[in-house]
Structure 1
Amino acid sequence: MTDASRLSPATQPRLDYVMCASPAGTHRMAYWEWGDPDNDKVLLCVHGLTRTGRDFDTLAARLSGEYRVVCPDVVGRGKSDWLANPSFYVVPQYAADMLTLIARLNVTQLDWVGTSMGGLIGLALAGTLAMSAAMRPARGDAGLAAEQTLRLGKVVLNDIGPSLSLSGLERIAGYVGQPMQFDSFAQAVDYVRSVSAGFGTHDQQGWEELTRHVFCQQGSHWVKHYDLRIAEPFAGQSEQAVKASEGLLWGAYESITAPILLVRGELSDLLTADTAQEMLARNPHASLHNVPNVGHAPTFRSNDQIEPVQRFLLA
């Protein structure tokens, strides 16, 4: 796979942050923004477990003429703060942070691209919005107008679904919390390449760009650019807990009434082909795009991966 054209200095994103809260206190969530800041057509792109918002640079640059594209660093990753209590490194907290960000952006409708964990956050948000709308007491003319309710628009779920392969989860859990330290950036690149084979084929510069924002230089060493404690609640999930959460995720997925694009790496060990077919059967608004010769997860860096997403979002 050949990476799409590289970013020029003129096409770098803007960095900002929003103050969020957890039961343990406040934290700042950084986000990267592309396009016209006054554009009310917003695309929120949310990354995977150990990644950052800069994963979407190529996709965001491509879509920034049509959208205000916002790519947060989920708390504990990248430029964002680390939580005082690592037990809150969980999807409900991440979804709450996204609602805070959406309020900052003054969004009434937005489209969503979520890779892996970012897709689960999107499902959690969709479920929360649907449940809140169903349970909220009607106010009639005394309350806010119906059109002022936040609506989730088109949704792209990148190699993720309500049912998760336990073998895929175990593979990821095996390296998430490991403290890696390298003497050079080149060694960090080799490490990312070794644990990210599912990303598919990239040239050397592509692997360097996939490494640049998930490793940072501390003194004379390169270390992971995330709080290693994100592994604690992740590793603590039992098979029973994972299965129990699937019912909630399926309900959230089925509540989405907007168009959904399921993107699946054909070699994925996290989103199985059977689960993808079940997702098509359980939501009539869903369509499926398989990415050949890629596992978990497509990186949206090449034209052949970007174009199906672009067509879906702009149709």
Structure 2
Amino acid sequence: MPFAEHFYQSTDGLNLYYREYGTIEDHPPLLCLSGLTRNSADFHDFAERYCGNRKVYTLDYRGRGKSDYDANFENYNPQVYAGDIYNFLTSKNIQKAVFVGTSLGGLLTMGMAGFAKHLIAGAILNDVGPEIDTSGGNRILEYVGKDIRYDSIEVASKAQRVQYLNAYPDLSDAEWISQSKKTFVFDKAAGNFRFNYDMNLGPALAKQFDNADPVDLWPFFAELKGIPTLAIRGARSDVLSQEVFRKMQIENPEMQAITLENRGHVPLLDEPPLLKEMDQFIAGIR
């Protein structure tokens, strides 16, 4: 199914891009929030699966995809992203939505539960919890903001396969190509393919990691109690540890939880063992 492309304005004047799938408004829409360096294209297949009976919105954060880049890299932080999401929902007059948060998107979902719980009809947390494992955090910090270029999508795909093989040991060549097309964009001026985000995310993230007083997200996670929640973990994940995942289930015993084999950070939301459970979960939110 085709999607419509739109922009909305942030409170500080940036044009922020989003895709809109579907037309039926009988149920709360799905609001898809991507990972740190990712964009709205990650959710295309997911959106096509679910837009037959409800709208699906997939957002590009500032500095990603087709959204404007921010001249002030310090605005690349979760508080600003959450404000942008809130502004999107209010500008569209969306009373409630099912938040589908991958990695950073899941952190933002928890954050929204802390200050705008009334907007959340349900939550899917994809391989993220209130604590980030040190190994995964350091790995992400190491690669974000490195301006590595490739002459073709095929070459980029091979490099991505080497880097992320542990997370996706069973992807085919065609699937790696498909992932790379969502990751890279052609730079006409340079004549090569670059990552589809602002490289200033690197210093922004480094500054946040240097913060001596990190935010305790467990109280925000606790705000999801009473809201239908599905938590997903890749068995190979280096971001969401098994211990934290267990603690999440103890803290919120009504939360549905599923672990996916042969997936690290992050599951792609198209895994056969997940689809039936996710279909039922989403269908149950009306």
Sort the TM-score into its range (normalised by shorter chain): over 0.9
* Offset, 1:231: 1.5
Using a 3 Å threshold, how does the CA distance of structure 1 residues 303 and 102 change in structure 2: closer, same or farther? same
1:123 to 107, 110, 132: 110
For residues 237-280 of structure 1, give each alpha carbon's deviation from its aligned partner in whole angstroms, at most 9, with x where no partner exists: 34764x631x2x11111011201111000111000011011111
- Alignment check: 8 A CA contact 2:168 2:262 kept: no
Secondary structure at the counterpart of residue 295 of structure 1: coil
Gaps of 5+ in 2: none
**Does structure 1 residue 104 correspond to structure 2 residue 91?**
yes
* Count of aligned pairs between the two proteins: 280
Larger-gyration structure (1/2): 1
CA distance in 1, matches of 2:168, 2:102: 12
Match of 1:167 in 2: 135
Two-structure CA RMSD over aligned residues (Å): 1.7
CA distance in 1, matches of 2:160, 2:149: 12
In structure 2, what residue type is equivalent to 1:14? A
- Alignment check: 8 A CA contact 2:24 2:54 kept: no
CA distance in 1, matches of 2:238, 2:77: 22
Secondary structure at the counterpart of residue 116 of structure 2: helix
Using a 3 Å threshold, how does the CA distance of structure 1 residues 200 and 123 change in structure 2: closer, same or farther? farther
- Normalising to structure 2: TM-score of the pair? 0.92
* Offset, 1:37: 6.0
* Offset, 1:195: 2.9
Match of 2:151 in 1: 183
Match of 1:276 in 2: 245
User: Hey, which of these two has a bigger chunk of helix by percent?
Assistant: 1
Matches within 5 A, 1:1-315: 11-21=1-11, 25-36=12-23, 38-39=25-26, 41-130=28-117, 150-197=118-165, 198-219=167-188, 220-238=191-209, 241=212, 244-245=214-215, 247=216, 249-256=217-224, 257-315=226-284
* Offset, 1:207: 1.5
CA distance in 2, matches of 1:275, 1:225: 31
Gaps of 5+ in 1: 1-10, 131-149
Comparing 163-172 with 183-192, greater Cα deviation is found at 183-192
* Offset, 1:212: 1.1
- Alignment check: 8 A CA contact 1:45 1:70 kept: yes
Using a 3 Å threshold, how does the CA distance of structure 1 residues 37 and 312 change in structure 2: closer, same or farther? closer
* Offset, 1:28: 1.2
CA distance in 2, matches of 1:231, 1:258: 34
Using a 3 Å threshold, how does the CA distance of structure 1 residues 210 and 152 change in structure 2: closer, same or farther? same
* Offset, 1:128: 1.2
- Alignment check: 8 A CA contact 2:41 2:182 kept: yes
CA distance in 2, matches of 1:119, 1:126: 11
Secondary structure at the counterpart of residue 84 of structure 1: coil
- Alignment check: 8 A CA contact 1:41 1:66 kept: no
Paired-residue identity, %: 28
- Alignment check: 8 A CA contact 2:126 2:267 kept: yes
- Normalising to structure 1: TM-score of the pair? 0.84
CA distance in 2, matches of 1:120, 1:88: 17
CA distance in 2, matches of 1:314, 1:38: 14
For residues 167-205 of structure 1, give each alpha carbon's deviation from its aligned partner in whole angstroms, at most 9, with x where no partner exists: 101111111111111111211112222333324422222
In structure 1, what residue type is equivalent to 2:202? A
CA distance in 2, matches of 1:64, 1:89: 30
